[in-house]
Each structure stands twice: as structure tokens, then as C-alpha cells.
Structure 1
Amino acid sequence: MARRSIRWLVPALLVVAWLAVGGGLGPFAGKLTEVSTNDQAAFLPQSAESTRVLEAQEEFRQGDTQPLIVVWTSGGGDVTPEQQAAATRALAALPGAPGVVGTPTPAFGSDDKRALRGVVQLSPDLSGGELGDALGQIGAKLPVDGMKTQLGGPAATRADLSDAFAGIDGVLLGVALITVLIILLAVYRSVLLPLIIITGAVFALGLACAVVYFLADRDIVRVDGQVQGILFILVIGAATDYALLLTARFREELAGGADRYRAGRIALRRSVEPIVASAATVALGLLALLLSNLTNNRALGPVGAIGIACAALSALTFLPAALVLLGRAALWPARPRPADAGAQGLWSRVGALVDRRPRLVWVASVLPLVALALLAPQLNARGVPLDETFVNDAPSVSAQAALSEHFPGGSGQPAVIVAPAERATAIVDKAEAVKGVSEATAVSAGGRPGDEPKVVDGRVLVEATLRDAPDSDAAQETVQRLRATLHDEDRVLVGGYSAQRFDTTETAEQDTLLIVPVVLAIILLILIVLLRSLAMPVLLVATVALNFLAVLGISTLVFPLLGFTGSDASVPLYGFVFLVALGVDYNIFLMSRVREETARHGAREGVLRGLVTTGGVITSAGVVLAATFAALVVIPLAFLVQIAFIVAVGVLLDTLVVRSLLVPALVRDLGGRAWWPSRLGHDHPKPAPEPSPAHHR
């Protein structure tokens, strides 16, 4: 009697402990925005020239403000002197307004006489809702009769970013959880089980957010809106996937006649290895991002790994404990069916096809993937233009478009040159002579043209206005020409918005070349340890890499249809880390079961039984993960929409083609050779009373 009480005590204590975690740490999912930053300057390459320029600007106290560019456009006629005077008076009245620092520049007209422009410096302490409120109050003071007023520049862009991430902890999480719940209800046709799985995922997210909050509050890790959104999706998707795998084994044992305690113990024992291997694969793949020279990439590494670890912990502790306590009631009103029920099901037919024509199946699967993969190099990953950064029409984007129409394209986002004070005049002259530069001016202490340049430590700042839009390839080419021309001068650095885009793109490409081989090596080592084979891990890594390239090929075709002329330079790297690591997840789920069945029934029977018995659960897991990543589209940023598309399509392609057809057919065709150098596939299988794969589903 005492022994029976003790064996129920452990799962009860685990559930109580997780209830305490959920109640105590759950609110941290909403508090994570308190330690998040959406200041894009904080996510530049550490060693890049543009970053060193930014540091120099801070010495000039340029970094202590965030510029707000005000642009007035006429309805069609020329700007009148009265309108220009009214705009200047409106700017002069701004000191004392919320967040305004110093005296704004007077309004000056465009060459086409159709627009006016002024610059207002705002406090860097303004962010989030405070920044949006300040812009609203400033904008209310700036109307000029007969002219349209728009706010642009870095401050307005930052406000739009804050708006894009507003409510991320509510809207994104709600959409993801509702999506997962609907899928689980359809899969299990049960009331309690989907709620148990969702509860475990929410507990895992609360724990992950609490750990990340603690670390971010102490500046150990950095979090921005993108990292926060990916963390939410990653934890919910991974926790649900792991739960589906364990629950399937639990239900299988119940159907075989085991009691709830034995079913839970066997399900946990047989699921712990693939779940831990899967979590290690994704976590270590994410941690490889620490090798990146981009701060936001490095930020995602540890934050994502923490989320994966919490998801696995919840799936291996809370879920089995809850299932043991509830037993068959967890599946109500559905009932666990024996393994041979529904013998003519979909996966039985898929298994039979793979068994009859394995070579035809894998060749027919590989050819379209290869054809799509050949399109991958055509994906334009040199950055997203400013007018495509936000999926919706953001005010700062419209303002920049108005500036570019009436003023030199780089107005409001000049190239910034750090130069020796004694060479200031010569540097200005050399910069103005560079093709693509409209004008160059040394920055004065008062910010007014014609005044003496401000000198700090023997250096001055020179602002070079570019003729082309700051987010264009032409502007980046001008930056390269400026650097080539001015690097002959001692202690000269060229930075600014266009230089930052160029340096970020170059760094992202270098990161991809470094991190991709590291991630592949990590995954390969984990698979070798898990499967005790060399041939099988190489085969699996090759298939998921092919799947990734095929998805990039699909993206090349689809992104233009969605209105994207390019993608962020980090999109291929993020897509690779997520798709390869998560794609191997499903192969781990499949092949760990195949290995188990092969040891009992031999190579041919092993792969077919593994496919048939795991087909439903792995496909369900893939649909869940694809749906959770698709929820990222609620954040109206091109970067996250593109990541959502790549991961969602890639996961579906992986689960429906690569894991369901390509891998089983290859393993069936290779037979025991797939397990080389292990003799697993060649050893005489132990006799087993189980029916043939045709009677599994």
C-alpha cells in the first residue's frame, strides 16, 4: 500500500511544482518587453567600420539624441514664403515639447520648390509608447496651411518598430495557442489531452521567459522584438512536438493493455532519448549563432536554447506526470485503439508503396527537390528596402518616400565621416567629389550650416548627403566609393545608415559561411551518438540540407508574388538553423523508432514499422510547428513574415515528403547498409509476435 502511494506521489509533486512555476513565472511572458530593445543600432556588427563611426558619434554626443525629420509637401503648387515662415515658426515653438532636445533647425525648401524639411532632435530615453505619444504631440504642433505634414527619420522608424511589436506578448501568443489548440482537438478528438499539452507548453514558456528576463535584466543576454517573437513560437511549437511524441507512446501502451503507471513509465523511457537528442540538436544549433558577429544573431542563440531546454523539461516531467494521474481519462471521449486497428489507413498504404517500389519513391522525391534547390542561389538576400521593411504602410516609410521625391535620396540619413580636424576642409571637398554624393558638410556645435565644426579629440564629423535613397544598392555603392577615396587619409572612417546596411549584409554573409558547417557538424555528431551509425546520420543530414535549399528555391519564386523584392541578409541563416535543426528533429523521431524496430525485426521490417507507427504523430507535429511559425505573420515586419514562410513551408515539406517518403525509401533501398558500420541491419532479428506492417497504422 505504501509503495503504491509513493509511486503516485512523484507525479503529483511534479504537477504541483509545475503549477507553481506557471502561477509564479507565467507573468514574465508579458514582462519580457520591459527588458527588450528595438534600437537597431545595438544590433550592428561589432567590428564593422560603421559601428566604430557610431561610437565616435556618441563621443560627439550625437548618440544622445534621435533625429526626427519633418517634411511638408504642397498639394501641387510651389511652396510660398508664408508657408516656409509658418513651418519655421512651428519648429521654433517646439522646445519644451515632450522629448524635444535643443533647438530644431529652420525649415528649408527643396530644389523643386514643392517641399520643406526640418530636423528635430529627441531624447534617446523615449521609446515604445512614450515615443509614439511624443510624436503625436509634436505632429499636432506642425501643420501648415495647404501642406501635408509627415514625420520620418530614425525616431519615426523606431516608433513604427515599437508599434509593430506592440502587444506581441498578447496577440502573437494568443494566435499561436489558439492555432495549436484547434489542431490538437482535430488530431486527438479529445477534450482534456489538448488542454494538458497546451498547459505544459505555456508552463515551459513562462519558465523560459523568466530565465531570459533575469539574464536580460543583468545585460547577460540581449532581447529585441524579433528574438522575443521567435522565442514564443519556438517554445510553443517545440513543447507541443515533444508532447505529441510522448503522448503517442503513452496511448500506444494503454492500447496494449498496460495500466496508466506502466504506460507512463514505458512512454517516458522510450521517448526520453529522441526528445533529448532532438532538443540538443536544436539548442546546440541555435548556440552556434554565438559565433556570429551580429549582435541580434548572438542574442537569439542563448535565448532560443533556453526556450528549447524549458520545452523539453516540461514535456519530460509535467506531461508524463499529468498523463499518469489522469490515465485513460486524459483521452476522453476518444479511446486508445490497438496498434492493428485501421489496417487500411493512410500510413499503411504509404508503407506498402515504399516497400514495393523504394527506388522509384526516393527518385521521384529527390528530383523535384533538386530542381527547386537549383533556384536557391537566385534568392536576393542583400537586404530589404525601407518601403518593404513593414508589411503595412508605416508613417516613417511614407515620410522617407516624400523626402526622396523632393530632396536628395539620402536626406535625413546621410553618410557620416569621422575625420581629423586639421583635414576637415579637404575631407569635405574629397567627399563632395565622389560620385553619388550630393553635398558634404562638417557638423557644427549648434547644428547650423556655416558655423565652426565641432572638434572632439582632434576629430570632426562630416555628413555627406547621398543622391540615392539610403536603403538602395546605389547608396551602398556610393559608401564603398567614399571609403575607397577617403581611406587614403589617416584616421578616416565612413559610417551612417547606408554603411550600416552594407556592413550588416557583408557580415551576415560571412556568418553564414562560418555557422552553416558548424551546425551541420553538431547535428552529425548528435545523430552518430543517437543512431550508433555513420551512414545513416550522413544520409539524414543530406536530406534535410536538400530540403532547406529547396525551400529557398520556393522562396525565390514566391517572395516577389508577396511583394518582396529582397530579403534580409540574415534570413537564409535563420532559415537554415531552424529548418535543418527542426528537420532533423522529425528524422530523429522516425529513425529512433526505426532503430528500435530494426533491432527486433530486421532492416526491412524495421523501417516499415517505424514509418507506419510514427507517421501520424510526426505529421501532426509538423503541422503544429508549421502553424505556430506561421503565427509570426501577425507581426507586420518583412523579416518575420519571410522567416515564417520559410520555416512553415520547410517543415511541411520535410514531414510530408522528406521524412514520409524520401528517407524511408532510401533506407528501404539500402537495407542493412544504411546502418554501417553497425551490424544492426544485418543481425538476425529476434522473433516477435507482432503482426506485419500492413497491420499497423
Structure 2
Amino acid sequence: MRPENRRRHLLPWAVVGLWVVVIAVAAMFAGKLGGVQRDEAVDYLPASADSTHVEKVRQELPGGETTDVIVVYHRDGGLTAADRTVADGQLAKIAAEQKLTAPPKGIPSKDGTTLMYPIASAAPTGPGADKEAAQKAFVEDVRAIATTDGDEAGAGGGSSGPDIASGLDIEVGGAGALMADMESVFESIDGTLMIATVLVVAFLLIITYRSPFLWIVPLVVVGAAAVSSMAVVYGMVRAFDVVVTSQSAAIMTVLVFGAGTDYALLLVSRYREELRRVPEPYEAMRTALRNCGPAVLASSGTVAAGLLCLLAADLNSSSGMGPIAAIGVVCALVAMLTLLPAVLVLLGRRVFWPLIPAYGSEVKQRRSFFAAMGSSAARRPVAVLGTGLVVLGALALGVLNLPGAVKQEDSFIDRPESVTAMQRLTDAYPDQSAQPISVMAPTGAAGTALDTTRTLPGVADAQRGRSGGGWTEIVVFAKDAPESAGETATIERLRSTLGDETYVGGPSAQQIDLADTNVSDRLYVIPLVIVAVLLILVALLRSIVAPLMLVAAVVVVWGASMGIGGLVFEPLLGFAGVDPGLALLSFVFLVALGVDYGIFLMHRMREEALKGAEPEEAALTALRSTGGVIASAGIVLAATFGVLASLPLVMLAEMGILVAVGVLLDTFLVRTYLVTSASVLLGRKVWWPGALSRPPAAEPVRERETVGSGV
């Protein structure tokens, strides 16, 4: 066998063998990623915020970080003596079985319908201590005791009581219970998301390929990429103590499947085309990779670069998501450019059965949907472009209808017990918030800070808390409801009055810091993303006008998507607020991912221009050739992000809806109509200042590069 033929025969097997080893090793670590995910408050807070500093100091106080919950007893007609006996018995049992930081003390409401017991348990300390598991276990134990019948509860308190099911409502709320409910939701996300994403991608691939076998190949390869990415991220956690949250892990999974499937669709489409021109699958794949490889590399480069710009964000959850999501995209790219080609070459033409592309055959020429769209854009480019911009602008006006920042109790699709408990406390204690504000003061100034705090308007009560490490905690209760305008004013008043050496935190202060930090992060990260994407596009397209056009197009899409969110989030879906980080993250995803399809279109348009086609002809040929595969890729990507909308958290549902809608707008309106019509209007100027911007008669194009049919 000739050396060249031997290489053709052995190289695909070598690549597959290498990937088998990689997957075998990666599988041992990928499953451990869930065990190192962290969803503590500081993992989602701004790095430089007051509330973040408070949380870090609280962990260092005697007893360490505490889990704060409130056991709530309520009867509509007023609590009876027997109800109070049940409450005393249950709290005595909780105190006996749990390590509480202070004895339980009941606080009755003025109307006599409600009795609340704020309690706290210290988190475990020392190497290997699993604080999240301990916090969740504490909440579960308290709830288990609170749901026992009155006889058991009464026995724990030294007396007997009635059946607690007869009109006495018992709920466990507070910050600790809220975090436990959030953790339970996060635990259910990984499996649900993976199964739903696989099913969606498989369904769309079957429809796209119309083959009983071909769809399995890219699905298996993207699965290998997902396993590899999880293993790499787990290694980064162990080696560099990188923080991985459930949110960032979910986004990474969606990106691996969405982007990876997109790259597979583009490569398979090009490979199928080459099989009609080249007799050997190996050579057909080499040609396919050579022609569409630059576009795929640039596409993944824009996504990875955009995501890495999130490192500049002050918000811990955003800055941590950047490199993790970028790893997913890179793993998807590597798998699709190595493992997928090798498997397809080994399987040969028969993998396309029953629509096998025979060597020398011609594709049936028929007027496609995208050819018709391109022709209409070419006939009336000004009208098409103007109408499209007006439509997108009108949709963008929906931003004015976006609800405010989502409150903690509104962050679940279905309200858990912790949320209903806090709502009951808000109704029963109108003169005092049941959610504490934590003030961390230097121990030497704690007395003065406490006295000053008690005199401030909006403060219902303030008590000295734990001390240690030079700090003293002051627990403050506002007169207004949690996350209300009145409580916000009280927190701002505390911060301005107590000075820079005293820090104000707690759940409500965290929400304020999240909103403020997301505004400042947008001012830094959005320009970085635009510059990074522009540089990659300029390098690929060798033009300034075309990259500016593509970036402007995806920015308009982002604005329209946000507007659609304003029209559906609260009016149709009942979402009471918007996650503060939604605008920034949706911008990064829509710009980075949306530019992908512009790259595929403009790269093919450039190739046609290099072959001598006139600007209008090049634009229409590019749309006709790439429209189908771009549409398939867009639908797959939108569907994978749409899976997030089925999850029980408002922040992920909103993200999934916005990105899915934006991708569809970009695929079927902006890419097909607006970019095509703008390219027709600009003519050769779209390639300015490159050589293609000048007429051939003035200066022949002398660029040397491979000319093919692209993607």
C-alpha cells in the first residue's frame, strides 16, 4: 500500500482511537462536576460590593456562616393556646436536635394570627466541610419536625397538643430556606436539561437529514464534546479553584449542544456536496474542511472571545461563566473538526442512506425558499431594508414595558414554601420586616454604630450580634417590606450614615448591589465584546464595512429581542421581574452567536466575489447556497436555548426565551433580508478598504486564497 493511501486509511482510525481514550478518561471526571458546583450567595454577588464583604466576614465570625430560617405558625382566626403549645414543643425539639446559635424566641404578630421563631444554625467548619449540604440538611430537618403532628410535637415540649392539620399552617422561610429551595431546583436542572437538550437536538437532526442513521453521528460527537468539557472544567476547579455555579454549568451544556450541532450541520452539508465531486470520502472531507474550516474557526472564535470578555465583569457569576462557557465552545469545535470528520470518513457514503450523494451526480435544481427571499431583497433593497429596520425598531420599543428587577420571592416559576412563608410574614408584620439587614462594623465602633442605627428613620429594631476577628455584626430590621422602596431607602441611609468602614449586607442589600453592578458591568463588557468580535471579523473578511454591518445587525436584533421580552415576560408569562444580569448575558450570547451566521453568509459572498461575481450576484448566490444550512443551524440553536425556558427558574427561562427569539430573528429576518439587501445596496463598498472594493478593471484582485463553495 502506498504511503499516502496508508495515511488515508490509518488517520481516521487513529483519530477515533485517540478520542476513545479521551472520552474514557474524561468520563471518570465529568460526573464529578456536579459535586464541585457552588451556589452560595458570594458566588453570584459582585466581587467589590458591600454585601459580598459582609458575607465573607460572617463566615469568619465565631460559629462560621449561619443558616438563618424562620418557622412561621399561622391561623386565620387567631392562634389558640394549643397552637402555641405545638409551636413551643416543636421549637424545643429543634433546639435539642440542632446546634442553634441562640435559644429560640417567639415573636407574635399584633393581630394574634401569626407567631414567628427566627433561628440560626452554624455551618460546619474545617477541611472537607460541605456547608451547602449541611445548610440544606438543617432546613430539611426543621421542616420534618414542623410537619409532625401535634402529639409528637407536644411530647417534645413536655405536653400534648391537638392535630396540627386542623387549621394551623406551619411554614419554614428565611434566607436559609430560600437557598435550600434554590439548591433543590438546581439539583434537578442538570439531568432535566441534558435529557431535554438531547431529545430536542435528536429530533431536529432527524428532520434535517431525513436519514435513520446520519443523525446519530453528530449527536454522539456532541455528546463526546459535552463529556470532555465537563471533565476540563472539573480539572480547572481542582487545579485553579475556579468557581462553577449551576447557572454557568447549565449555560455551558446548552452552548456545547447548540454550537456543536451548528458546526456539524455546516460541515456535513459541505461534505455531502464534495462527495458528488470527489470519488474518495477522505479527499471529500479534506476539501470540506479546507473550504469551510476558516468560517467555522472564526465563528467559534467570536463566541469564545465574546464569552471571555465576561472576565471583565465585577459580578462573580458573570465573570465565572465566561471561561467555563468558552471551554464548552472550544471542546465542541475540536470534536466537530476532528472526531466528526474521522467517523464520517470511516462510515463512507452509506451513512447518508437513503439519500446517498453519488459521485458525479448533480443536485436537483429548484427554486428554493431562500432564493425567493434573496430575489425579493434584490429587487427592492431600500424598501426591504427600511421595512425590516422599522419592524425591529418597533419591537425594541417593548423594552419600555420590561418589569423591574426580579425579587427573590419571584425568582421561581412555582413558588416554594420559603417564598409563601415570607409573604405571610410580610402580611402579618406590616410594621417590621422579617428579613434582617446585616451591618458589619469594626468592633471598636460597634457601640456607636448600633446607637446611630437605632435612631435612623425606617429602622424598626437593631441588636448587637456576633463578634470576632475585629468585626461585630449588627442585625437590623427595617419597618418596610423586604425589597420594597422603603427598605431600599433604609439600606442606602445606613450606608451613607455609618461610613465607609462599616458594611451593609443581607439579602435585600445583595439585590441592590446586583442591580447596580450589572449597570456598570454593561458599560465595560459590551464595548469589549463589540471590539473583540469586530477584530475577528476584520481579520476573516479583510474589510471594515462588512464587519461593522454584521455587528450593527446583531445589536439591532438584541434590542428587538429585549423588546419582545417586555411584551411577553409579565403580560403573558406572569414574570414579576427581570434578572439584573439578563441584559448583559443576552447581549454577549446574541452578538457572539448571531455573528456566526453572518460569518457563514459573508464568507461565502466573499468567495463568490473572488471568483469574479458581481456584488448582487455574489450576495444572492451566498444566500441561496447557505440559507438552508443556516436556517437549520439557527433552529437547532434556538431550540437548545429554548430548553432553558422549561426550567423552574425565572432567570434561566428569561435567558432561554430571549436568546431563542433573537437567534430566530437573526436567522430568518436579519441574515436573509437585511444583510442581503444592505450588501446589494453597498455593492463593492461592502469590502472596503480591501482589494475587492475596487472594480477589476482598475486593479485586478491579487489575493491568493483557496476558492471554494464555502459553507
TM beyond 0.5: yes
**2:358 equivalent to 1:362:** no
What is the correspondence of 1:376-391 to structure 2 with a 5 Å cutoff? 376=399, 378-380=401-403, 382-391=404-413
Please report how far the alpha carbon of residue 71 of structure 1 lies from its aligned counterpart in structure 2 after TM superposition: 0.7
C-alpha contact 1:68 1:119 (8 A) present in aligned 2: yes
What is the rounded CA distance, in whole Å, between the counterparts of 2:296 and 2:645 in structure 1?
A: 28
Hey, what does 1:55 align to over in structure 2?
56
Please report how far the alpha carbon of residue 54 of structure 1 lies from its aligned counterpart in structure 2 after TM superposition: 2.3
**2:196 equivalent to 1:175:** yes
**The one of 478, 484, 491 aligned to 1:479:** 491
Structure 1 window deviating more from structure 2 (544-553 vs 367-376): it is 367-376
C-alpha contact 1:603 1:682 (8 A) present in aligned 2: no
Hey, what does 2:544 align to over in structure 1?
534
Q: Which AA in structure 1 matches 2:65?
A: D
C-alpha contact 1:100 1:120 (8 A) present in aligned 2: no
What is the rounded CA distance, in whole Å, between the counterparts of 1:412 and 1:217 in structure 2?
A: 39
SS at match of 2:94: coil
Structure 1 window deviating more from structure 2 (371-380 vs 470-479): it is 371-380
**The one of 348, 370, 373 aligned to 1:327:** 348
**2:145 equivalent to 1:141:** yes
Hey, what does 1:669 align to over in structure 2?
681
Hey, what does 1:217 align to over in structure 2?
238
**2:603 equivalent to 1:592:** yes
**The one of 372, 376, 383 aligned to 1:353:** 376
Please report how far the alpha carbon of residue 413 of structure 1 lies from its aligned counterpart in structure 2 after TM superposition: 2.3
Label 1:496 to 1:8 Cα distance change in 2 as closer, same or farther (>3 A).
same
What is the rounded CA distance, in whole Å, between the counterparts of 1:104 and 1:69 in structure 2?
A: 13
Hey, what does 1:115 align to over in structure 2?
114
What is the rounded CA distance, in whole Å, between the counterparts of 1:162 and 1:426 in structure 2?
A: 38
Please report how far the alpha carbon of residue 634 of structure 1 lies from its aligned counterpart in structure 2 after TM superposition: 3.4
C-alpha contact 1:152 1:397 (8 A) present in aligned 2: yes
Hey, what does 1:450 align to over in structure 2?
none
CA RMSD in angstroms, aligned pairs only: 2.4
SS at match of 1:383: coil
Hey, what does 2:213 align to over in structure 1?
192
C-alpha contact 1:104 1:121 (8 A) present in aligned 2: no
Structure 1 window deviating more from structure 2 (87-96 vs 495-504): it is 87-96
Hey, what does 1:291 align to over in structure 2?
312
C-alpha contact 2:226 2:332 (8 A) present in aligned 1: yes
C-alpha contact 1:242 1:315 (8 A) present in aligned 2: yes
SS at match of 1:563: coil
What is the rounded CA distance, in whole Å, between the counterparts of 2:458 and 2:411 in structure 1?
A: 24
What is the rounded CA distance, in whole Å, between the counterparts of 1:213 and 1:156 in structure 2?
A: 28
What is the correspondence of 1:324-473 to structure 2 with a 5 Å cutoff? 324-336=345-357, 341-376=364-399, 378-380=401-403, 382-408=404-430, 411-421=433-443, 424=446, 426-443=448-465, 454-456=466-468, 459-473=471-485
C-alpha contact 2:398 2:565 (8 A) present in aligned 1: no
What is the rounded CA distance, in whole Å, between the counterparts of 2:600 and 2:573 in structure 1?
A: 34
For normalisation by structure 1, the TM-score amounts to 0.92
Label 1:355 to 1:571 Cα distance change in 2 as closer, same or farther (>3 A).
same
SS at match of 1:93: helix
Please report how far the alpha carbon of residue 4 of structure 1 lies from its aligned counterpart in structure 2 after TM superposition: 1.3
SS at match of 1:218: helix
What is the correspondence of 1:631-646 to structure 2 with a 5 Å cutoff? 631-646=643-658
Q: Which AA in structure 1 matches 2:275?
A: L
Label 1:636 to 1:653 Cα distance change in 2 as closer, same or farther (>3 A).
same
Please report how far the alpha carbon of residue 360 of structure 1 lies from its aligned counterpart in structure 2 after TM superposition: 2.0
**2:70 equivalent to 1:69:** yes
What is the rounded CA distance, in whole Å, between the counterparts of 1:293 and 1:675 in structure 2?
A: 38
Please report how far the alpha carbon of residue 564 of structure 1 lies from its aligned counterpart in structure 2 after TM superposition: 1.5
What is the rounded CA distance, in whole Å, between the counterparts of 1:361 and 1:623 in structure 2?
A: 23
Hey, what does 1:571 align to over in structure 2?
582
Write out per-residue CA displacement over residues 279-318 of structure 1, whole angstroms, 9 at most, x where no aligned residue: 1111111111111111111110110111111011011101
**2:609 equivalent to 1:609:** no
C-alpha contact 2:62 2:467 (8 A) present in aligned 1: no
Structure 1 window deviating more from structure 2 (421-430 vs 384-393): it is 421-430
Please report how far the alpha carbon of residue 395 of structure 1 lies from its aligned counterpart in structure 2 after TM superposition: 1.4
C-alpha contact 1:26 1:205 (8 A) present in aligned 2: no
C-alpha contact 2:123 2:135 (8 A) present in aligned 1: no
Label 1:189 to 1:484 Cα distance change in 2 as closer, same or farther (>3 A).
same
SS at match of 2:580: coil
SS at match of 1:680: helix
**2:506 equivalent to 1:496:** yes
SS at match of 2:648: coil
Label 1:605 to 1:231 Cα distance change in 2 as closer, same or farther (>3 A).
same
Q: Which AA in structure 1 matches 2:170?
A: T
Label 1:168 to 1:422 Cα distance change in 2 as closer, same or farther (>3 A).
closer
Structure 1 window deviating more from structure 2 (359-368 vs 177-186): it is 359-368
SS at match of 1:478: helix
Q: Which AA in structure 2 matches 1:20?
A: V
Write out per-residue CA displacement over residues 458-481 of structure 1, whole angstroms, 9 at most, x where no aligned residue: 643221112233233432222112
Label 1:23 to 1:177 Cα distance change in 2 as closer, same or farther (>3 A).
same
Hey, what does 2:704 align to over in structure 1?
none
Write out per-residue CA displacement over residues 124-168 of structure 1, whole angstroms, 9 at most, x where no aligned residue: 356667655543432232355352111111221122112112243
What is the rounded CA distance, in whole Å, between the counterparts of 1:170 and 1:17 in structure 2?
A: 28
Q: Which AA in structure 2 matches 1:652?
A: L
C-alpha contact 1:53 1:418 (8 A) present in aligned 2: yes
Write out per-residue CA displacement over residues 420-463 of structure 1, whole angstroms, 9 at most, x where no aligned residue: 556545533432333332222222xxxxxxxxxx5445643221
C-alpha contact 1:100 1:123 (8 A) present in aligned 2: yes
Q: Structure 2 regions of 5+ residues with no counterpart?
A: 125-129, 151-163, 702-709
C-alpha contact 1:622 1:652 (8 A) present in aligned 2: yes
C-alpha contact 1:221 1:302 (8 A) present in aligned 2: no
C-alpha contact 1:607 1:667 (8 A) present in aligned 2: yes
C-alpha contact 2:60 2:469 (8 A) present in aligned 1: no
Aligned residues: 674
Write out per-residue CA displacement over residues 101-133 of structure 1, whole angstroms, 9 at most, x where no aligned residue: 445412221122111111332343566676555
What is the rounded CA distance, in whole Å, between the counterparts of 1:219 and 1:394 in structure 2?
A: 35
SS at match of 1:112: coil
Q: Which AA in structure 2 matches 1:168?
A: I
Hey, what does 2:86 align to over in structure 1?
86
What is the rounded CA distance, in whole Å, between the counterparts of 1:512 and 1:377 in structure 2?
A: 18
C-alpha contact 1:282 1:581 (8 A) present in aligned 2: yes
What is the rounded CA distance, in whole Å, between the counterparts of 1:263 and 1:339 in structure 2?
A: 15
Label 1:8 to 1:579 Cα distance change in 2 as closer, same or farther (>3 A).
same
Structure 1 window deviating more from structure 2 (114-123 vs 554-563): it is 114-123
Label 1:417 to 1:102 Cα distance change in 2 as closer, same or farther (>3 A).
closer
What is the rounded CA distance, in whole Å, between the counterparts of 2:436 and 2:63 in structure 1?
A: 13
**The one of 652, 666, 676 aligned to 1:654:** 666
SS at match of 1:192: coil
What is the rounded CA distance, in whole Å, between the counterparts of 1:491 and 1:88 in structure 2?
A: 40
What is the correspondence of 1:126-165 to structure 2 with a 5 Å cutoff? 132=136, 134-143=138-147, 145=164, 146-165=167-186
Label 1:63 to 1:657 Cα distance change in 2 as closer, same or farther (>3 A).
farther
Q: Structure 1 regions of 5+ residues with no counterpart?
A: 444-453, 688-695
**2:34 equivalent to 1:13:** no
Hey, what does 1:25 align to over in structure 2?
26
Label 1:533 to 1:14 Cα distance change in 2 as closer, same or farther (>3 A).
same
Q: Percent identity?
A: 38
SS at match of 2:690: coil
SS at match of 1:432: helix
Structure 1 window deviating more from structure 2 (101-110 vs 211-220): it is 101-110
Q: Which AA in structure 2 matches 1:435?
A: P
SS at match of 1:118: strand
